[in-house]
């Protein structure tokens, strides 16, 4: 559960970083956030 919450937080943070830009960078930001969360998890 904790890992899922951390991933959600990372995704939200990544999405927020590129919120002003077009949808494509937002998608890239989400992927980057998910990858970072997975790396942090193990």
- Residues 1-42 pLDDT 10s: 466 777 777 766 665 555 555 556 667 777 888 888 888 876
pLDDT value of residue 10: 72
pLDDT value of residue 1: 47
pTM, rounded to two decimals: 0.36
pLDDT value of residue 7: 72
18 φψ region: left (φ > 0), alpha (ψ -120 to 50), beta (else): alpha
SS (H, E, C) 8-38: HHHHHHHHHHCCCCCHHHHHHHHHHHHHHHH
């Amino acid at each position: 559960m904790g890992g899922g919450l951390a991933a959600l937080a990372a995704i939200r943070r990544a999405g927020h970083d590129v919120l002003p830009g077009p949808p494509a960078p937002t998608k890239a930001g989400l992927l980057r956030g998910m990858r970072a969360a997975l790396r942090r998890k193990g």
